[in-house]
Structure formats: C-alpha cells, structure tokens
Structure 1
Amino acid sequence: MTPETLRFSVAPMMDWTDRHCRAFHRVLSRRARLYTEMVTTGAVIHGDRERILGFSQAEHPVAVQLGGSDPRALAEAARICEGEGYAEVNLNVGCPSDRVQDGRFGACLMREPGLVAEGVAAMKAAVSIPVTVKCRIGVDEQDPEAALDALADAVVAVGVDALVVHARKAWLQGLSPKENRDVPPLDYGRVHRLKARLPDLPIAINGGIKTIEACVEELAHVDGVMLGRAAYQDPEILLRVDPVLFGEDAPVADGFAAIEAYEPYVAARLAEGVRLSSITRHMLGLFPGRPGARAYRRHLATEAVRPGAGLDTLREAVDHVRRAASDASGEERAT
C-alpha cells in the first residue's frame, strides 16, 4: 500500500458509512478512500453477504473494516471480502464499545499486540489485497509510548501494509463510546513520533481533524489523514479533497451538482425497494450555513420517510435552498 493510496480517507463509522453514504461521498471525491462500517467476522462468514458486504463498483477504492480476534476467522473473512471485490481489509483495534470488548476485539486488543499480529499474519497469508490496522494510542492506564510502539512493532513484523492511528487513548472503563470520541485528549505528536521511528511504514492519522487545511498540516508529518464526523456532517468538505490534496479537479462543482450526479444512484435504489430516507439521511449535512438549509433538512426529515417518497421529494427539498439563494440575490440587487 503506497502513501498515495493512504493520503485521504473517510473513516469507518457505525450506522453511518453504509453503501448509500459511500456512493454519495464518491460523487464528491474520486480520490478519497472509503471504508465500510465495521463488520464482524461472524457476520461475514455466516450472514447475508449481499446485505452485509454488497457495494457498488462506483464506490472504489473502498475498503472493508473487520472486527474480530480469532486468526482463522479473520483469514476466512478476509478471503470472502477479497472475493467480493474490496480493495483493502482493515482490522479494528480501536472501537471501545462494551459489545466489542465482550467479543474480545476492538480497542481492548491494544493489550494483546501478539494476538493482533497473529490475525494480521493470517489475513496476509489468505489474501493479496492490503491488510491494514486501525488502532488507538493506548487504552486505560497504558503508557501510549510503550503501547503504540508494541502494537506497531508487532504488526510490522508480520508485514502489515499500513497503520491508521486514532490519536487518542480509549478508556474502556468509565467512558461511553461517544465520550471516547471526544473526552480523551488528542496527542498528534505521539503519532508523529511513531512515523519518525518507523519511516517505512505507511501511517495515517485520525481523530478531531475538521478541515482540509488541517489535513495539509498533518501531511507534513504522516502519510495520510482520515476524517470521520467532519466529512459526514459537512459532506461538501469532500469537494476540496481532490483539488487541494491531489491537484485534480473536483468531480462536481457544488452541493447542487452533487445531488444531480447522485440522482441515478438514488433512482436505482428506489427501484429496488430501498426507502428514500435510508439514502437521504446521509445528505442532511449539505448546504451548511446557507439560506434554506434548515428547510431542506426539515423537508427530508419529514417527507423522505413517507411510503412512496421518491426523487420529487429530494428535488423539493433542494428547491428550498435554490429559492432562498434566489431571494437573497434579488435582495442584494435591490439594495
């Protein structure tokens, strides 16, 4: 995996980065690397694969994030994911929820770097696509200097292709998953020191990064930047990824053009029986701060859930912003 492929990505986010979200984000950036929500090895091996792993080829490059700790199960799940067409398998060593702790995976694996390495080695032996790890800098009372080094050294020894580091500790006792996204202090310097110590390992940084300007600053220290909530809650930020970070034109000019480009995908999913609200819930962050944005969100929130809601509902929501922009322009000319 090259630093170029790691340069910018949208984080895997439970209940958010589903196939509809990823298809929309791809309209906004050709170059961003996209990730699935975390899926467990058991779900991949035994579940409905089309429902769990299905995606559009237009989403590429797209990676799958696995949750698990048993090396044999991870290898089997990785083989299945490669067969489904994913470009990368990423192992979750960062999620702090009670459910993943009970299953002995996620952030609690920071305490077991040897087991993480076994899982990475098993997946590397099973697939030809890159195998990566997303981790924290430590958990609970661990010293981040020792904990992150131990995890990184263990996976480097078995040939991991890249490491994505959420630059916060996870507190498995005392903080909720939501609090673990904000309360533990960020320590970007710890990730920078890891990259300086392991210059040949592609490393991306994650956590609290909110702007493309901040991405540029971080790329002076690491190979890649992963944005999470900032990219989801204000998806138009992705329109700046290709021009600023890759020196290429954005695929579309603005949020209006993005929706027009996304309409064929929406129409195809509606024809398959998908509810409009399942798709448009990922678009509520468009038009931030613009006149009419609140009416746009309200229209989608109330109307897209209705049975039979279709493209007309989406277009009506967008018209709130168009009319508000037109009204504002008229007022400016009048003055």
Structure 2
Amino acid sequence: MPGQAHDSNAHRLSVAPMMDWTDRHCRVFHRLLAPHARLYTEMVHAQAVIHGDRDRLLGFDPVEHPVALQLGGSDPGHLAEATRIGADWGYDEVNLNVGCPSDRVQAGRFGACLMKEPALVADCVAAMIAAAPAHVPVTVKCRLGVDEMEDYDVFRAFVDTVAAAGCGVFVVHARKAWLQGLSPKENREIPPLRYDWVHRLKRERPGLRVSLNGGLATVEDVLAQSPGLDGVMIGRAAYHEPYRLHLMDRALFEPARPPEERAALLRRLRPYVEDCLSRGIALKHISRHLLGLFHGQPGGRLFRQVLSEGAPRAGAGWELVEQALAETLR
C-alpha cells in the first residue's frame, strides 16, 4: 500500500498478543525460542499510552525486534497519538485490535464490537497511518464477524472498507465472536473455526497480506495452513507449550537444521534473567513464562513444581532454574 512498508516475510510466523501473558519477559523468552517470529505486546488502550506509565506499558528489550505494539481504542485522534508514541518508542508495527470480545473491552467500545462499525475502523486506521512513519506499518487483527454475522461477503466487505483506508495487513482469528453469552475463553473455543474464509480472502484479495490465527497448536497445523497465506499467528500453544514455538520456527525457516534441546535454549536466557535480578525484578515475574517448557516430557511436572514453589521466595535467583533443570533431567 502507498506509504506503508511491507516485508513479504514479516508475518510468516508470529505470536499473538495475549493479555496478562505476553509481557516483555515472555517476549524475550519467545525470541530465544523463535528467532524469526514477529512478537506482539499485550493490548494497550490508546488512552493508557497517552496518559499512563510509558516505561511500564511500552518498554521492551532490543532483542525483541521485530516487535509490534497492539492498541485498543475507537477514537481516531487518540489512536493516532498512541501510534506516534509507539513509533517513537521503536516499535516495528502498530496493530489495531478489532477482535477481543471481553465485556470490559466492549464497554469501552473497542475490540470485536468494532466489526459492526467498519467505517469507524477505517477512520481509525487512516488516522493511525497518517501518524506513523512509512517504515512502521499499521495492521489490523480481527475476527470473521460478531453475533449473527454469518455471511462471508459481510466479512470481506469489512476488510475491503478498512483496506481502502490504507491497511494492507490483516491477521484474522478464524472464528466469529459472540458479544453476549460467551466468556473470552469460550469465544476462543466454541465458535467454529473457518479457515476456508481466511484462505478465500487471500485468494480474492491477493494484494493484501493475510495471516491466520486460531486453533493452530502443532507444527503440522502450521505447515498445513501456511501455503497460500502470508503467515500464521500462534496463541495459547506458544505460551502453554513454548517448545512448540521453537519447532514451528525451525520448520518454517530452517527445516534442515535440527531443533535445539530445551535446556540449552533455557540457559541462553540466563544473562537476561541475571540482569533483571540486578535491577530488582523478582524471578517470579520471569519464571512464570517458563513453566510449560518441559510440558509432556518426563520430569516436566517436577520442573514446573520447583519453579512455581521456589520463585516467589525472597532472593530466588538463577540457581533455582538450574535446580529445576537438574531435577527434570536427572
């Protein structure tokens, strides 16, 4: 799109923005596991970016690049200002959330309910693009629709309206959302997945970059859905079983190279952990993201137990991680 930079490989693999999960410690760990993936922040409301503690909300480690800032909101002026701030902080992309179905988000008139207002989303995107430097693309993460919206043509019309405002990248969670009656967790599981809609969108709008999100949990899933699309976005699987993210990165980008062992990957996190500890950050804030590394492996439960019980204790340091590894690998 004119004025918007797009790397054809940029979204081939990405990790979804997940509230309370994908903080800066999580993203540094994910970067070690998946050196080629695009990482996303938790969703931050535009007003919080403008008025809040920016170091806490926007700070990230340089190793995280490429990293995208996901914004929530529905006021074009606020979103434009937040985009400007995000670009100044060094983010590689600014993404607008048009997919979150939580009650709190709806009450603020942002997230998935905006799929009912494509013209407003287009206005928001246009304002964000005008505020962003050319090398920082503005992208949209959306659903297939909300509530009774069951028509592919309505979904495509939404995309067309937003694309006409200048957005060239869409990450599509391949489910619709029910705004009433389902919790956010149920909205991630109950509405049926319709991967065919996302593939059809890419076929019919080949000039757009289209990534698929939703239900992708294994390397086989990723390899099956990637052909014909510009990328896949992994959510809960990357968090609860992070080694899968490493396997996906290898399969997509370096298939001839064998994956690294879990312990070796984890030990590469030590300099970051020790730097955080030296600045007064408690181990528990980092270790909570590591708990699933040995999921399904012999000793995996013990690894989780040692970290979960030991990290909250005062003075816990890297030696606890080594203890957990020793217990797991014995």
Q: How far apart, CA to CA, are the structure 2 residues paired with 1:206 and 1:131? A: 18
Question: Which of 2, 5, 8 is equivalent to 1:3?
Answer: 8
Verify: 1:95 aligned to 2:107, yes or no.
no
**Could you say which residue in structure 1 is the equivalent of 2:3?**
none
Cα deviation, 1:196-251, whole Å, max 9, x if unaligned, reads 11011000000001112211111113111000001111111122233311136779
Cα deviation for residue 312 of structure 1 reads 1.0
**Could you say which residue in structure 2 is the equivalent of 1:278?**
285
Paired letter, 1:140? D
Moved more, 296-305 or 247-256: 247-256
Cα deviation, 1:174-215, whole Å, max 9, x if unaligned, reads 101110010111011111111111011000000001112211
Question: Which of 127, 132, 144 is equivalent to 2:132?
Answer: 127
Q: How far apart, CA to CA, are the structure 1 residues paired with 2:66 and 2:7? A: 13
Cα deviation for residue 306 of structure 1 reads 0.8
Contact 2:239 2:292 in 1 (8 A): yes
Cα deviation for residue 156 of structure 1 reads 1.0
Question: Which of 30, 44, 47 is equivalent to 1:42?
Answer: 47
Verify: 1:12 aligned to 2:17, yes or no.
yes
Question: Which of 184, 208, 218 is equivalent to 2:215?
Answer: 208
**Could you say which residue in structure 2 is the equivalent of 1:104?**
109
Q: How far apart, CA to CA, are the structure 2 residues paired with 1:234 and 1:247? A: 20
Runs of 4+ in 1 over 6 A off after TM superposition: 248-252
Question: Which of 300, 321, 325 is equivalent to 1:314?
Answer: 321
Paired-residue identity, %:
57
SS in 1 for 2:212: strand
Verify: 1:289 aligned to 2:264, yes or no.
no
Cα deviation for residue 144 of structure 1 reads 3.7
Cα deviation for residue 143 of structure 1 reads 2.4
**Could you say which residue in structure 2 is the equivalent of 1:329?**
none
Structure ID, larger Rg: 1
Cα deviation for residue 285 of structure 1 reads 0.5
Q: How far apart, CA to CA, are the structure 2 residues paired with 1:215 and 1:33? A: 15
Verify: 1:157 aligned to 2:157, yes or no.
no
Q: How far apart, CA to CA, are the structure 1 residues paired with 2:203 and 2:217? A: 24
SS in 1 for 2:79: helix
Cα deviation, 1:124-146, whole Å, max 9, x if unaligned, reads 11112000000000000112413
Q: How far apart, CA to CA, are the structure 1 residues paired with 2:267 and 2:259? A: 9
* CA RMSD after TM alignment: 1.3
Which of the two has greater helix per residue?
A: 1
Cα deviation for residue 114 of structure 1 reads 0.4
Q: How far apart, CA to CA, are the structure 2 residues paired with 1:10 and 1:39? A: 16
**Could you say which residue in structure 1 is the equivalent of 2:176?**
169
Moved more, 51-60 or 138-147: 138-147
Verify: 1:84 aligned to 2:89, yes or no.
yes
How do 1:142-153 and structure 2 match up within 5 A? 142-153=149-160
**Unaligned regions of 5+ residues in structure 2, if any?**
1-5
Cα deviation, 1:51-71, whole Å, max 9, x if unaligned, reads 000000001110010000100
**Could you say which residue in structure 2 is the equivalent of 1:263?**
270
Question: Which of 55, 64, 74 is equivalent to 1:59?
Answer: 64
SS in 1 for 2:121: helix
Q: How far apart, CA to CA, are the structure 1 residues paired with 2:87 and 2:257? A: 29
